[in-house]
């Protein structure tokens, strides 16, 4: 099977945005009179949407107000606190050269994703960019992948999803698409193996030769 499109998760897959996320979490915590958390303490709660993130990092808060405070603060730190992961640009360039459609399906709010894609100068590669506000249910529900597939006018069997978490594997399985993961995000390698992805990549760059072999 040769895939016509590759859809990506964002944080932990293409970028390391954990310092920026941690800065905004700590901004909310400061407003609640709580001490700051380390990047490592915040990272394990990233990837399942802002509600999950703030419920687990700002205990006892008012969730709606905390999310609003986070979203107001985040644009001020998102650029300087986010970097492309090794090989991300090379992978996007290679996929584009192979004629693959590329999309982003992330539980990060779409406005933040678009800001980063522009800042990191990779927006041109993406035919579709989706966030949780674009669908009824965030990942691990299949809605985001299904919406991307429909917009690209493809069938699930023509699409590969690439992520870094067990939630990405669950999402792909629910949507009926193949899923490959890299151990560069919030979940440990052992957890990824236990979740049975179609492939566990050692590094993102391994994606390219594997896809070329399938063409």
Instruction: Decide: residue 161, CB within 10 A, 0-12 exposed, 13-18 middle, 19+ buried.
Output: buried
Catalytic residue among 9, 11, 66, 168: 9
Which residues 6+ apart lie within 8 Å of 37 measured at CB?
22, 25, 26, 29, 57
CA–CA separation, 104 vs 114, rounded Å?
Answer: 10
| Beta pairing, strands 83-84 & 15-16 | antiparallel
Catalytic residue status for 143: no
Q: Distances from the Cα of 198 to the Cαs of 48, 129, 134, 163, in angstroms?
A: 21, 24, 27, 12
Assess contact for 206 and 188: CB atoms under 8 A.
no
Assess contact for 88 and 14: CB atoms under 8 A.
yes
79, HSE (Cβ side, Cα atoms, 13 Å): 8
Catalytic residue annotation:
9
């Amino acid at each position: 099977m040769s895939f016509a499109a590759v859809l990506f998760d964002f944080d932990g897959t293409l970028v390391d945005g954990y310092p920026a996320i941690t800065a905004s979490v700590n901004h909310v915590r400061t407003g609640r009179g709580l001490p700051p958390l380390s990047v490592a303490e915040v990272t394990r709660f990233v990837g399942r949407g802002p509600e999950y993130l703030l419920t687990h990092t700002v205990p006892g808060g008012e969730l709606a107000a905390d999310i609003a405070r986070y979203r107001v603060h985040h644009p001020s730190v998102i650029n300087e606190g986010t970097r492309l992961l090794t090989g991300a640009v090379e992978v996007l360039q290679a996929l584009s050269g192979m004629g693959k459609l590329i999309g982003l399906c992330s539980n990060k709010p779409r406005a933040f994703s678009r800001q980063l894609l522009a800042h990191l100068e990779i927006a041109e590669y993406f035919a579709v960019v989706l966030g949780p506000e674009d669908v009824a249910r965030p990942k691990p529900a299949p809605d985001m992948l299904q919406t991307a597939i429909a917009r690209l006018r493809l069938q699930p069997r023509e699409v590969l999803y690439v992520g870094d978490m067990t939630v990405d594997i669950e999402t792909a399985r629910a949507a009926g698409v193949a899923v490959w993961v890299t151990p560069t995000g919030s979940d440990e390698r052992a957890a990824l193996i236990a979740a049975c992805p179609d492939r566990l990549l050692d590094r993102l760059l391994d994606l390219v030769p594997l896809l070329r072999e399938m063409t």
